Amino acid sequence: MDKQQEYVLRSVEERDVRFIRLWFTDVLGVLKSVAIAPAELENAFEEGIGFDGSAIEGLTRVYEADMIARPDPTTFQILPWRGDRQTVARMFCDIQTPEGEPAMADPRYVLKRALDKASAQGFTFYTHPEIEFYLFEPLVDGEPPRPVDQAGYFDNVPRGTAHNFRRQAITTLESMGISVEFSHHEAGPGQNEIDLKYADALTTADNIMTFRAAVKEIALEQGVFASFMPKPLDAAPGSGMHTHFSLFEGDRNAFFDAAAPLQLSDVARKFIAGLLRHAPEVTAITNQYVNSYKRLWGGAEAPSYVCWGSNNRSALVRVPVRKAGKGQSSRIEYRALDSATNPYLAFAVLLAAGLKGVEENYELPDRAEDDVWELSPGERRAMGYEPLPASLSDAINVMETSELVAETLGEQVFDFVLRNKRAEWDAYRSQVTAFELERFLPVL
């Protein structure tokens, strides 16, 4: 029993914790939880908690159902939800096989492997997500969702639900040790954005999972409903998760070079080139639902074409203007990600794509100065701006041939994602939609 574990045991006793939730994430990025009583905690540290992995999406193949969840004591946290009368705490878990080997299908392990690879080249990977989501009135079956307000970008809504909500959310997140950098009302009605502070990619991914759970809980407390669905309203912008990336070599920001154009180092340029070249392949991971493509192709700042620019809000990769003298804050922004992605897998494939560019010295194409949306299709083709996949089906077909994605996710996750997403597409395609009924039924 190490000190950290002892600390957890002591806290559980002192704080009168009644249940400990062991958290992990399935391959689709849905948070899973096993609750244990404090009496089981010591055993959970020593041996892990066995559970039936076959019940969890993508985690195991059916015939090897036994899996072990090993709680990571450094992630111990009291859950500050007010709704719970009894004190509840949580820890993230690593998933292992009964032989004690890391489970290939544990998304946390997928990301850890990708980070290890970066670390072998001397890099650490930092991310900073800007998470957008909608607040709705409580859902009513059969009716379209109703946003809690009609405000817009940066609007301060007097006594608005969203305002209270964000304040409560931020307090809750900070009390869980998750630093929040920024929060404001977004462009859509009822849409909000909260930015999490820079952290290494694994911590960020854990934080995003916690963030989603916390936001949903607080919404319930306040009598509203929060959704991370990429495009819940057809007339309003979707919820993206623009994410800033940077690589560090030791304490030095590897993206910064004071002498280079845009102060972008060679590493940064190759990293961007890697992101661009592999963007279509990884889209089925970064934008994983049929609904994701309605955001991606719905305009309103969503990037549909593979290109990069500085302060170009139509570009897939944007290089933000830096404040002078802040070399350590050099970073690039990847704008395709949406709020419903599995952050572990998404960070893993994007890191791998960028590193591939660095390893193989990809050439960075010229940057896009124009608003890519305004160009004609012919102009875009002439300028070499490839489109991202237009649908989940397209995205799967591109990903299927990707060695990069297969190697990064591991064969098991790769195969699972392909099968799961094909099934999703097939189920989606078999729908007869309201659109069809409205448009065709009367006339055909």
Partner 1 sequence: MTTRSVSEASVLRRAGVADPERVAGQIAQIEAATGLRLAAAGVNPAGIDAAGINLPGIDLAVLADPDLAVLQLLRLVEAAIESGDLDRLVSVVTAPTAARLAAILGASSALGDFLIRHPSLVSTLASPEPALPLSASAARAALLVAVGADPSAPLPVATIVGAPGVDALRIAYRTLLLRVASEDVSSPSPVTIVPTVAEALADLAGAALEAGLALARADEPGYAETRLAIIAMGKCGARELNYVSDVDVIFVAEPGPGADDARSIAIATRLATAAARACDRPSSELALWQVDANLRPEGKDGALVRNVASHRAYYERWASTWEFQALLKARPVAGDREVGEAYFAAVEPLVWEASQRENFVEDAQAMRRRVEEHVPALEADRQIKLGPGGLRDVEFTIQLLQLVHGRADESLRIAPTLAALAALRKGGYVGRDEADRMDHAYRQLRVWEHRVQMARMRRTHLLPDSEEGLRALARSSGFASSEALLEAWHEIRRDVRSMHLEMFYRPILPVVARLSAGEASLDTDAAGERLAAIGFADPEAAQRHLAALTEGVSRKAAIQRQLLPAMIGWFAEGPDPDAGLLAFRTLSEQLKDASWYLKMLRDSGTAAERLARLLSTSAYVTEALLASAEDVTWLDKDEDLVPRDEARLVHEADAILARSQDADQCITALRGLRGRELARTAAADVLGLLDTLEAATTITHVADVVVGGALRIAMSEVGGGKAPFDMAIIAMGRYGGMEMSYPSDADVMFVYEPHDGPEPAEADRIAQHVATEVRRLLQTANPQPALDVDVDLRPEGKNGPLARSLASTAEYYGRWSEPWEAQALLRARPAAGDEGVRARFVEAIDAIRFPSELGPEALKQMRTLKARMESERLPRGIDPRRHVKLGPGGLADVEWTVQLLQLLHAHEHPELRTTLTLPAIEAAVASGVLRNDDAAVLAEAWRLATRLRGAMALRGYASQRTNVIPGDARELKVLAGILGDGWTGTQLDENYARAARRARVVMERVFYGWEKE
Of 136, 210, 138, 199, nearest to 175 (Cα)?
A: 210
When binding is defined by CB under 8 A, the residue of 83, 142, 250, 261 that contacts partner 1 is: 250
DSSP string, 13-27: HHTTEEEEEEEEE-T
To the nearest whole angstrom, how small is the minimum distance from the Cβ of residue 248 to partner 1? Answer: 11
Q: Does 43 bind partner 1 (CB under 8 A)?
A: no
CB of 233 to partner 1, least distance (A): 34
Closest-CA residue to 332 (of 342, 353, 340): 353
Closest to partner 1 by CB, 151 vs 285, is 285
Least Å distance, CB 149 to partner 1, is 41
Name the phi and psi angles at 119, rounded to 5: -65, -30
Near partner 1 by CB under 8 A, which window of 171-179, 184-192, 245-253, 341-349? 245-253
Shortest reach from residue 80's CB to partner 1, in Å: 23
DSSP per position, 71-131:
E-GGG-EEE--TT-SSEEEEEEEEEE-TTSPBPTT-HHHHHHHHHHHHHHTTEEEEEEEEE
Site string for partner 1, 117-136 (x = CB under 8 A): --x--x--------------
Per CB under 8 A, 157 contacts partner 1: no
Q: Does residue 74 belong to the site contacting partner 1 (CB under 8 A)?
A: yes
Residue identified by tokens 């309605």 is: 294
Token pair in block for residue 154: 């940066």
- Cβ atoms of 413 and 345 closer than 8 Å: yes
- What is the C-alpha R_g of the chain? 22
Site residues for partner 1, 386-415, by CB under 8 A, read 401, 406-407, 410-412, 415
Tokens of 428: 């989606």
Scan residues 84-113 and list those touching partner 1 (CB under 8 A). Answer: 97-104
Stretch that binds partner 1, among 2-10, 163-171, 308-316, 350-358 (CB under 8 A): 2-10
Cβ closer to partner 1: 95 or 196? 95
Closest to partner 1 by CB, 97 or 168:
97
Closest CB to partner 1 among residues 252, 429: 252
The footprint of partner 1 on this chain (CB under 8 A) covers a number of residues equal to: 27
The smaller minimum CB distance to partner 1, of residues 54 and 222, is found at 54
64 binds partner 1 (CB under 8 A): yes
If 0-12 CB within 10 Å is exposed, 13-18 middle and 19+ buried, where does residue 155 land?
Answer: middle
Cα separation, 216 vs 207, in Å, equals: 14
Q: Please say whether the beta carbons of 349 and 409 come within 8 A.
A: yes
Q: How far is Cα 304 from Cα 315, in angstroms, rounded to an integer?
A: 8
Q: Which residues pair with 319 in a beta bridge?
A: 310
Give the contact letters, 251-270, x = binds to partner 1 (CB under 8 A), - = no: x-------------------
Confirm or reject binding of residue 311 to partner 1 (CB under 8 A). no
Nearer to partner 1 by Cβ, of 108 and 335: the residue is: 108
* Amino acid of residue 337: L
Please work out, in degrees rounded to the nearest 5, the angle formed at the alpha carbon of residue 277 by the alpha carbons of 116 and 208.
Answer: 50
Q: Which residue has the tokens 């404090």?
A: 38
Q: Which helix (H) or strand (E) holds 219?
A: helix 201-221
Q: Is 30 helix (H, G, I), strand (E, B) or coil?
A: coil
Q: Which helix (H) or strand (E) holds 426?
A: helix 411-429
Residue ranges that bind partner 1, judged by CB under 8 A: 2-4, 61, 63-64, 74, 97-104, 119, 122, 249-251, 401, 406-407, 410-412, 415
